[in-house]
Chains A and B, each alone.
Chain A
């Protein structure tokens, strides 16, 4: 039981890390960033390559975070910003996002091949740890604790600092914030930076828990993380984290206690999504997404 809870915590923290990127981008741009799941894939692949070249895991994580953040900011600068400047309809933005997502998948498919590759990581993550009579590995505890620290710091950043408050203001009213002389473009870049950095962490954690990576790994995880963000109330960072943990717990516990439904594990997120859209479209945090705020 305790072991299941720990597994659920580490899976949930992965979803939470990715869901935050969706919810923040949706907050400022009202755009479902389809490419976000693939940013996570980019992070995992960068860590994979750096670790196999330099065999230093901390350097690998650093390269992954920086590389994924740059990729995220470039997608905004190159693909989304020209459309926003032209005041293009939202459907054009969504199609571009799909295009970016497909571009990243196919680029990495071309560079690394479509076959899943084994992800190597330092053996410390495999060390067995005994807690309250349960046996687990160091990785799941580390992931859970690390994620919670990251989540708290992101929440503090958004709620206490000047930049965080400005980002909240953009989510509330884009044009007025522009009129107040705040550099909106810089702040949106900051949102893409934070979101992509968290997503690349999520990608590395995913690669450690299921030690294989492939160019399409971001698609399903990204969709589920989006479902988690909607479940928690899209636009709310705390909600995204809560939604991620709920999704992680339901997946682990359904597989553990109803093994006959194990094949449908991946569908749970979408049933959640449809259920929440039917009965409470504002999500758990109850945020009206027409006027969403963090």
Chain B
């Protein structure tokens, strides 16, 4: 009962905050908060495969791209599609695709998780690091396809005028759903199996757990929410292009989950606020400042990559380790 009481109280609190923020904050802050909401969805789901299951994967940009394209193509009207597709005519499939906002997001998530299922077969057959390189390559392949398949994606021109159906409230609700679903997985029998795989895969196997199945479930769940996050992103920004979903996106998410502590869902949420807020706050580094007279575009990213290396070397556990905020011992600064 205590669980349901806490759950309902926190849902009401989050929704109330969202309504207030949507009503009283200016549009710049609402935009930043919406962006943070999308990144919470992405970070929490990315943390499931990377932190909880301990399988180092670099997939988010690929699945986010898939989600964004599927949602965009489902939401655009036929007239818009024929008008925008300049390089070649849209294929019949593209013209046939149509749905309203919520089904479009769900379809994006399902498409992404089905692709994750097909990737799981080559990748989880072998141990360890190959997942990283295959998923990194997967992001490149998605981009190559997005650029070359003119009749499906409009090539490097991208898609624009996507109906803006996502706002802070809908993003917040989806973020809430994804956090609740992921936490429920983490505390279920599957979640315990995932943590066991992270700690010792051989022992988990020996206990009679089908590690391939558990890893695939984690990967597919992760891809599902990344697809939804991509759809929300497409609808929020109203334009998408292949270049938008570069490895940079994955790198930001990686910093977030490492800073929050690999395996900590609440840590990922807090780190999303810290990193995205920090990215906004550190904009001054790219401009001419007190120390250097000339502008250094890119200095911000140098600082962030150094931050990632330093966290890994000196504070490998991040803010929370693999604990949650409600666990007894809060911060973990042990090295």
Binding site for B on A (CB under 8 A): 30-32, 34, 79, 82-83, 86, 88-92, 94-96, 98-100, 102-103, 106-107, 109-110, 113-114, 219-220, 223, 226-227, 230, 263-264, 266-267, 269-270, 273-275, 277-278, 281, 290
Contact = CB atoms under 8 A, between A and B. Distances in A.
A277 B148 contact: no
Given A96-B313, A277-B122, A277-B130, A102 B301 contact: yes
B98 interface: no
B254 A270 contact: no
Contacts of B134: 270, 273-274, 277
A217 B221 CA distance: 33
Contacts of B258: 95
A136 to B, nearest CB: 28
Contacts of A83: 312-313, 316
9 contacts: A83-B312, A83-B313, A90-B128, A102-B301, A103-B306, A113-B297, A114-B298, A270-B140, A274-B122
B121 A226 contact: no
Please provide the 4 A-B residue pairs with the shortest distance between their CB atoms, ordered closest to farther. Answer: A270-B137, A103-B305, A99-B308, A110-B298
Nearest to A266: B144
Classify chain B's interface size: 35 or more
B136 interface: yes
B262 interface: yes
Nearest to A278: B122
B296 interface: yes
Interface of A is mostly: helix
Interface string B243-277: 00001000100100010001000000000000000
Interface of B: 50, 54, 56, 58, 121-123, 125-130, 132-134, 136-138, 140-141, 144-145, 147-148, 247, 251, 254, 258, 262, 296-299, 301-302, 305-306, 308-309, 312-313, 316
Contact of B133 (A114, A219, A273, A290): A273
A264 B125 contact: no
Given A91-B262, A95-B312, A223-B140, 13 more contacts: A79-B309, A90-B56, A94-B56, A95-B254, A98-B251, A98-B308, A100-B309, A102-B305, A103-B302, A227-B133, A269-B137, A270-B140, A273-B134
Given A91-B262, A95-B312, A278-B121, A109 B137 contact: no
Contacts of A269: 137
Q: Which of A79, A88, A230, A274 has the most CB of B within 10 A?
A: A274
Contacts of A91: 50, 54, 56, 262
Contacts of A277: 122-123, 125-126, 130, 134
A102 B56 contact: no
Nearest to A103: B305
Q: Which of A99, A107, A264, A275 has the most CB of B within 10 A?
A: A99
Contacts of A106: 298, 301-302, 305
